[in-house]
Structure 1
C-alpha cells in the first residue's frame, strides 16, 4: 500500500512546526493537485435548508455544477492549530466519499 500526498501531510502536520495558516495553505495546495478542493463560486449553498448537524459541523443543501449536493461546514473557524487535526480527520474521510444520493 502507498500513502497519498494528503495522507503524508496529515501524518506529519505536527512535525514541521508550521503555523495554522501555513498548514491550511498546504492542505489547499494538495487539494488542488488531487482535484478534491472546491473553489469559491463553484458552489451555491442553500443555508436555509439544513439537512443535519453533528459535532464537527452542519450539513446543508447546495448546488454544485447543476447538481444538488450536501455540504458539510465546520461549526468553528479553523484558524487555530488546535482545530486543524479535527479538520484533517474530516478531510481524510470525506475526500474519498461519493454518495449516490
Structure 2
C-alpha cells in the first residue's frame, strides 16, 4: 500500500482538529494513548496487512492502547468496539497519528 490515501493526502501529513502531524508505529504508543490509523503496511508478508485490515486496522479507525504485558509484548488494543491483542512485530506494521483524548 502506498503512503497516499484515496483522498490524495500523505498519511504523515494529515491535519485536522486534535490530530498531530507526525505518524509513528502503533507499537510505539504508551498505554492510554489514542491514535487514528494512517497506513497499514505488510512488510515482507502482504498477508499481515490484509489480516490487520480484517481486524479493523483500516485508515481512519481510532485505536486505543488498553494495556501492555509486563515485558512489553503483547499489547491489547481497542479498535471498533472490541479488544484485540497484537505482538510488537504486528503492531509495527500499523502507522498512526495521535489524537487528543
- Structure possessing the higher radius of gyration over alpha carbons: 1
Between 1 and 2, higher relative CO (CA 8 Å, sep ≥ 6) is seen in 2
Structure with more of its chain in helix, by fraction: 1
Determine if the TM-score, normalized by the shorter chain, exceeds 0.5.
no
User: TM-score, structure 1 length as denominator?
Assistant: 0.29
User: TM-score, structure 2 length as denominator?
Assistant: 0.29
